[in-house]
Structure 1
Amino acid sequence: MFYWFMKAFVLGPVLKLLFRPWVKGLDNVPAQGAAILASNHLSFSDSIFMPLMVPRPVVFLAKSEYFTGTGIKGRLTAVFFRLTNQLPMDRSGGAASALSLDAGGHVLAGGSLLGIYPEGTRSPDARLYRGKVGVARLALQGRVPVIPVAMIGTDKVQPIGKRVPNIRRIGMIFGEPMDFSRYYGMADDRDVQRSVTDEIMYELMRLSGQEYVDEYAAVVKLRLAGKAEGQGPTASGPDEGPAAPGSV
């Protein structure tokens, strides 16, 4: 209730006035029933602007660190994420990540919209990176359509590391629902998961116009951090890595 009050009467009108977001294809979001909104991830503010324009509530999986901070800032951050319909996502891999995916599955089983960032983290350079297969597992297990969402210009509004956003126009494109019913019953097949995920990422590339990089964004960030510290490139992880959707 608080979320809808803020969206309709407080935060929503102010953000729309300041950033004048433009939207295409919003009618591709189903009026009822479960679906996954799979978005590229350019900025922290993606999780604010995209749900703002969708008439139905969107539940996001956000990295668990946002819910466990200490001090006044940490507690306020946790309250903000809970009040804005976001669930903690453990990105450490293994059983913890699997439980987080189960939480997303429960959202879909309840007939709601689930927001996911298949790249698993924000792009370090505005390019589109390889998707993690959690989005495919959820789509196939839940037997729900995937709506690709391209966020446009949010990296200019709030680049990584910038707390106070720049006031400029942003946009978003909601693509046509992607039907993966031909793969139902094969949710645990890794080749199928990869095929579905790559198909989603191709559509995000087409809608957003971003350059695609066939590498995980998290690996690139580690390598860049190593170079910044004068340690040289860091080793990349396993090919698939933990399936971690929705991290911001």
Structure 2
Amino acid sequence: MHLVVRWLLAPFVRFLYRPVVHGAEQIPRCGPVIIAANHRAAVDTAVIALTAGRPVSFLGKAEYFTRTGLRGRAFASFLTALGYVPVDRANAKAGLAALHAARAVLDAGGVFAIYPEGTRSLDGRLHRGHTGVATLALSTGAPVVPVALIGTERVQPVGARFPRLRRVTVRFGEPLDFTRYEGLEGSGMIRRAVTDEIMDAIASLSHQEYVDSYHERPAA
């Protein structure tokens, strides 16, 4: 399934949507990397995976991987090929489990993508980031590449079941190095400062209006 996604599906989707990509060379070719992006639509994950130039891992709901039957197993294989890592979000310790899963990817020298806002922006603005991205950067020493996704909300607007043919732009920024804070990951003040620096970089790339408040998760 991984080969099908990489050699067949990915080129077809890139040909169909013809994304405009700037700065993909900013992603280090080897070693652990954190991609921190704004979040506009459900297709954002696929867009990052198809333009980053390296395999990218994301967090996915554990229940997506436990469906039964041929269709369920095929769907789980497809998500695995896209780079999803299963995490039980219903668990009381879901946040800790997510950090452990992300750190495992980075410790293995992989690329892990995260949306610091925590949920899709429904008003088009860039909202305050949660400090999980800073925790990962400080605890692993991995550089953070800020990313702006532009136009993905037109590909799959809220409520749309299927993607539409709309062109998108992806801007990768210069890697941010936070090793100067080595040993200070336990400081909430440092985590907040690192997160704010990352969000500032994303805002500079996306040109979104920044709001210094968390975006509320939409009702299920």
TM-score by length of structure 2 reads 0.91
Whether the aligned pair in 2 keeps the contact of 1:89 and 1:97 (CA below 8 Å) is no
Map 1:141-220; keep pairs closer than 5 Å.
141-219=139-217
Matched, 1:6 2:19: no
Matched, 1:89 2:87: yes
* Unaligned runs of at least 5 residues, structure 1: 226-248
SS in 2 for 1:59: strand
Matched residues, percent identical? 45
1 CA distance for matches of 2:158 and 2:50? 21
2 CA distance for matches of 1:193 and 1:64? 28
Residues 73 and 198 of structure 1, relative CA distance in 2, 3 Å threshold = farther
RMSD of aligned residue pairs (Cα, Å): 2.1
2 CA distance for matches of 1:72 and 1:209? 44
Instruction: Name which of structure 1's ranges 71-80 and 93-102 shifts more when overlaid on structure 2.
Output: 71-80
2 CA distance for matches of 1:35 and 1:27? 13
- Amino acid of the structure 1 residue aligned with 2:153: D
2 CA distance for matches of 1:214 and 1:92? 28
SS in 1 for 2:36: strand
Q: Which residue of 2 aligns with 1:29?
A: 27
- Amino acid of the structure 1 residue aligned with 2:5: M
TM-aligned CA deviation for residue 79 of structure 1: 3.7
2 CA distance for matches of 1:218 and 1:197? 18
1:172-212, Cα deviation, whole Å (9 max, x unpaired):
00000001111111112111111111111111111001111
TM-score by length of structure 1 reads 0.81
Instruction: Name which of structure 1's ranges 189-198 and 77-86 shifts more when overlaid on structure 2.
Output: 77-86
1:111-170, Cα deviation, whole Å (9 max, x unpaired):
111111111111122221111111100111001100001111001101122111110111
How many residues align? The count is 220
1:49-95, Cα deviation, whole Å (9 max, x unpaired):
11111221111112445445678876654443222111123445853
Q: Which residue of 1 aligns with 2:131?
A: 133
- Amino acid of the structure 1 residue aligned with 2:209: E
Whether the aligned pair in 1 keeps the contact of 2:34 and 2:111 (CA below 8 Å) is yes
Map 1:42-121; keep pairs closer than 5 Å.
42-68=40-66, 77-91=75-89, 95-121=93-119
